[in-house]
Amino acid sequence: MKIYIEENYEKVSKRAALIMASQVVLKPDSVLGLATGSTPIGMYEELIAMYKRGEIDFSNVTTFNLDEYYKLPIENENSYYSFMMNTLFNHINVKKENIHLPNGMTESVEEECKNYEEKIKKAGGIDMQLLGIGGNAHIGFNEPADKLSVDTNIVDLTQKTIKDNSRFFDNEEDVPKKAISMGIGSIMKAKKIILLASGEGKAEAIRDMTNGYINTQVPASILQAHPDFTLIIDKDAAKLIK
């Protein structure tokens, strides 16, 4: 595990964008695993700026997002599809057919999860996976539990996650209670993983995921066992690291 502790959120975003951009420059047909949440927004803005300056070309890139809410139409502004289109995809030259998110509106969850895994495999696996982290150390939507799913699966969101994510919705009741998420195995199969975190609200999760132990109640802790894992955090998120 490599850890970069940056002065602030802006520096976290800049370093992450440079790492992601290098991946695409060195391998223009990279398969990128992407994440939602507020944390990666700064990194996406940096990547858009690089694209506009002609420094980076996404035309051969394929993307797979970590997760999508269950039964939230993609037209809803809070769907992760809408988030990704508005925050990144509409501003760069990635091809629409190369963009993948789990279909939360599927009639057959089991089939959708299986297909998603197949599609990742067919694309050659994920070269670089970007992650944020939940306040309870979830990654994707793999919530703390006694058992964690290896493959893409449907998950029940914890009350904490529903509360955390309610800031984007009009009411807490509008937050979907379930999501389809890549599993821990799907994430760990990525050749490289980077995780971004910023702010004091993530300090406990960062402490617990870097303490040398793997604990399913701290889903992100498994990343310590990945051979090419980079943590990019700001001082506030790092303040409880021992």
Ligand X SMILES: N[C@@H]1[C@@H](O)[C@H](O)[C@@H](COP(=O)(O)O)O[C@@H]1O
Which residues of this chain interact with ligand X, rule CB under 6 A? 35-39, 66-67, 132-134, 140-141, 161, 165
Nearest distance in Å: CB 167, ligand X: 8
Q: Are 198 and 237 in contact (CB under 8 A)?
A: yes
Distances (CA, A) of 193 to 78, 105, 232: 25, 28, 11
DSSP designation for 219: G
CA 199 to chain centre: 17
Residue (67 or 117) nearer to ligand X, CB: 67
Nearest distance in Å: CB 57, ligand X: 26
Residue (51 or 83) nearer to ligand X, CB: 83
Nearest distance in Å: CB 26, ligand X: 25
Residue (38 or 224) nearer to ligand X, CB: 38
- The residues, any chain, with a CB within 8 Å of residue 38's CB and separated by 6 or more, are none
**Catalytic positions, please?**
67, 136, 138, 143
Query: Which tokens in the block code for residue 207?
Result: 């402490």
Residue (140 or 176) nearer to ligand X, CB: 140
The Cα 145–Cα 122 span in angstroms is 30
Nearest distance in Å: CB 102, ligand X: 11
Which residue bears the tokens 């209670």? 177
Query: Which tokens in the block code for residue 111?
Result: 């089939």
